[in-house]
Amino acid sequence: MPDESLRQQLLDAARGAREAAYAPYSNFKVGAAVLTATGEIFTGCNVENASFGATLCAERVAILTAVAAGHRGFTALAVIADTPEPVPPCGLCRQVLAEFSPDCRIIMANLAGQRQLATLKELLPLAFRLPSPEGGAAG
């Protein structure tokens, strides 16, 4: 798990990203920040759509932004929302993260300052994997 200073930096980045969330239908604003294996931080916010299936979660926005910048490995992901308890990533976001970093650490938080730490494997113990063309697991 990242040290306390880095965890706080990720949470601050996620909190800032949350401010840009586009959530006119649910008013449920979420921010996320992902830490790459090279130490860079990418952020994301949720972006809703009138066609609800087109909505993107903050975690996936952060991950996909990092992937678009050429990153494939992540060591930590922070997610924050205005909820009574620390907010976990949804199942779809967990699966997307598992594609790139099955050993990723997750920092879940709420605006009241509560935190919960977990590994992705704890949150998604049986992630779906396709075999790679070489015969092993992909990723």
| Number of domains into which the chain is organized | 1
Which of 38, 102, 37 minimizes the C-alpha distance to 75?
A: 37
Instruction: Grade residue 137 by pLDDT with cuts at 50, 70 and 90.
Output: low
Rounded to two decimals, the pTM is 0.92
- Give per-residue pLDDT as tens, 37-93: 999 999 999 999 999 999 999 999 999 999 999 999 999 999 999 999 999 999 999
Q: What is the pLDDT of residues 85-120, one digit of tens each?
A: 999 999 999 999 999 999 999 999 999 999 999 999
Q: Hey, what are 115's tokens?
A: 């935190």
Within a domain: 139 = no
Q: Between β-strands 105-110 and 74-81, what pairing exists: parallel, antiparallel or unpaired?
A: parallel
CATH code at position 30: 3.40.140.10
Which domain covers residue 79, as residue numbers? 4-123
Kindly list the catalytic residues: 59
